[in-house]
Amino acid sequence: MNHADAERVQAVMAKLGYGVTDKEEEADVIGIIACSVRQKAIDKVYSKISKWNKWKNKKNLVTFVSGCILPDDQQKFLKLFDLVFDMKELSSFPIMLSQYGVTTPVSNTPRVHDADMEEVARPASVAEKLNLAGARPVSKVAAPPQTWEVEPVYNSSFEAFIPIQNGCNKFCTFCAVPYTRGREVSRPSADILEEARNLIEKGYKSITLLGQNVNSYGLDKKGEEISFAALLDRLGGMADASGQDVWIYYTSPHPRDMTRDVIEAMARHRSLAKQVHLPVQSGDDKVLIRMNRKHSMARYREVVGWIHDLLPTATLFTDVIVGFTGETDEQFEKTRAAMREFKYNMAYIAMYSPRPGAASFAWQDDIPHTVKKERYAQLTEDLEKEAIVHTKKMKDQMIRILVRGKDRKDGYLSGHTEGKIVVRFASDDESLIGTFVDVKIESVRPFSVEGELVTEKVAI
């Protein structure tokens, strides 16, 4: 979601005449689309702004921050960044720059009245956040209610992200999203289908539907909008009929809202990629209750059963938090048992960190950091044991992959399978990036495999 937001910030700046630079030190305006969900991410923000503010001693530089930011973090950022704004205020960004004394490269007057942006009243919070005492009120400056109303500048010619839903109603006690993104709002399905159609016609190979809780799509507009399963069905049918080769993904669903017809839709359409990211967070029901996850392990097990029955080739990814407040050794062992039971291909494991604004922030963080690290290491080891069972089955097989770029290993390119398993192969032919190729797998690791390029390019 941060990536998709960044593409829309880039689109607004492009209309002002700004171009992108790959070198931070060359920038005139530089910013971060941040995420307050984990402390580690916020720590990186402080590291960046500390460096940039030192540059201001030698050059003119304007800094900004936006994204998924908790109020507590936002207040601290006001003292460090020149501009702090909510993503819903994106179209007011040009006027913020002008009030800060910055003119655009193409004009001495910022182009704030763009035809692509619906003109609405300027939010009062902009002046307050900029601390502009006596600032002249500006009326009718664009501020779309959702960032998806701004057409993005796609940063890739073959991979794209489509926001379909924003916000969350679940209020997990560890999570900041309901306080940073607000309540659930579904994007009109006609707009989603149109954006996807345009991308497919342009030859995009990978499209990911985005939302904090994608499978609650349409629930806020019952009777007015289709369900998430119906949306997938229409997208899959459209992509299949296009004759193009495309993998359509979605992230992230919630076990409580996952329905069997979603999995059935995935089974019906070749264009709906056979990969499911299903966050479990903990393997213990009591911990799940404290987390306010609103699903039991029995419910989670039912959903995984549907996946195994209807999508036998699908890969299964998850999210897990270790060291949540009050987590006992016995409860952690149940999470380890879940790792073995569901045999994940990948798990994103995080050590719990209290976030100001989330409900659990008021609770004592009673699991020592050393214990969290031990549990993190143990669960990672368990994951590796399960994941390599899957990758070993790939050895000596011909696997189709989407080449995504140069690998960290010199002389190699890398990509991923339909199930998002990383594959690398020896080649310096960068024209393969963004195409499908066949690779014969020769060696495996838990989360990646390596092989030999068999076809230069796969015909579409």
DSSP codes, 395-409: TT-EEEEEEEEE-SS
In terms of Cβ atoms closer than 10 Å to its own Cβ (0-12, 13-18, 19+), residue 362 is exposed
In a domain, 442, yes or no: yes
In a domain, 243, yes or no: yes
The pLDDT value given to residue 120: 28
308 and 207 belong to one structural domain? yes
CA angle 248, 254, 260 (to 5 degrees): 70
160 and 305 belong to one structural domain? yes
383 and 441 belong to one structural domain? no
pTM beyond 0.95? no
The pLDDT value given to residue 110: 38
In a domain, 53, yes or no: yes
Number of folded domains that form the chain: 3
101: number of Cβ within 10 Å: 9
Q: Residue 171 corresponds to which amino acid? A: F
282 and 247 belong to one structural domain? yes
In the 8-state DSSP scheme, what is residue 108?
S
Q: Residue 273 corresponds to which amino acid? A: A
In a domain, 221, yes or no: yes
**Which structure tokens are listed for 143?**
């501020």
Alpha-helical (H) ranges within 269-362 are: 285-290, 297-310, 329-342
| CB under 8 A, 24+ apart: contacts of 6-10 | 6/33, 6/155, 7/152, 7/153, 7/154, 7/155, 7/161, 8/87, 8/90, 8/147, 8/148, 8/150, 8/151, 8/152, 8/153, 9/33, 9/66, 9/90, 9/93, 10/152, 10/153, 10/155
In the 8-state DSSP scheme, what is residue 272?
B
Final residue of a structural domain among 350, 371, 392: 392
In a domain, 145, yes or no: no
Q: What are phi and psi of 211, to 5 degrees?
A: 180, 155
Beta bridge partners, 437, equal 401
Contact call for residues 288 and 281 (beta carbons, < 8 A): yes
In a domain, 110, yes or no: yes
| Three-state DSSP class for residue 89 | helix
In a domain, 146, yes or no: no
Domain hosting 24: range is 2-130
Q: Establish whether the linkage from the previous residue to 252 is cis, with ω within 30° of 0.
A: yes
Final residue of a structural domain among 347, 371, 392: 392
194 and 85 belong to one structural domain? no
379 and 402 belong to one structural domain? no
The pLDDT value given to residue 127: 33
Q: Could you give the CA distance from residue 217 to residue 211 in angstroms, rounded to a whole number?
A: 9
Q: Could you give the CA distance from residue 69 to residue 71 in angstroms, rounded to a whole number?
A: 7
In a domain, 71, yes or no: yes
The pLDDT value given to residue 365: 96
Contact call for residues 390 and 419 (beta carbons, < 8 A): no
Look up the CATH number of the domain holding residue 430: 2.40.50.140
Q: Could you give the CA distance from residue 444 to residue 179 in angstroms, rounded to a whole number?
A: 42
The pLDDT value given to residue 337: 98
380 and 402 belong to one structural domain? no
415 and 381 belong to one structural domain? no
**Which structure tokens are listed for 408?**
């960290």
121 contact partners, CB below 8 Å, separation of at least 6: 139, 140, 141, 143
Final residue of a structural domain among 366, 392, 418: 392
Look up the CATH number of the domain holding residue 243: 3.80.30.20
The pLDDT value given to residue 106: 43
326 and 411 belong to one structural domain? no
Sign of torsion over alpha carbons 254, 70, 37, 231: positive
226 and 343 belong to one structural domain? yes
263 and 353 belong to one structural domain? yes
Sites in the chain below the pLDDT cut of 70: 101-145, 456-460
CA angle 107, 125, 43 (to 5 degrees): 90
280 and 407 belong to one structural domain? no
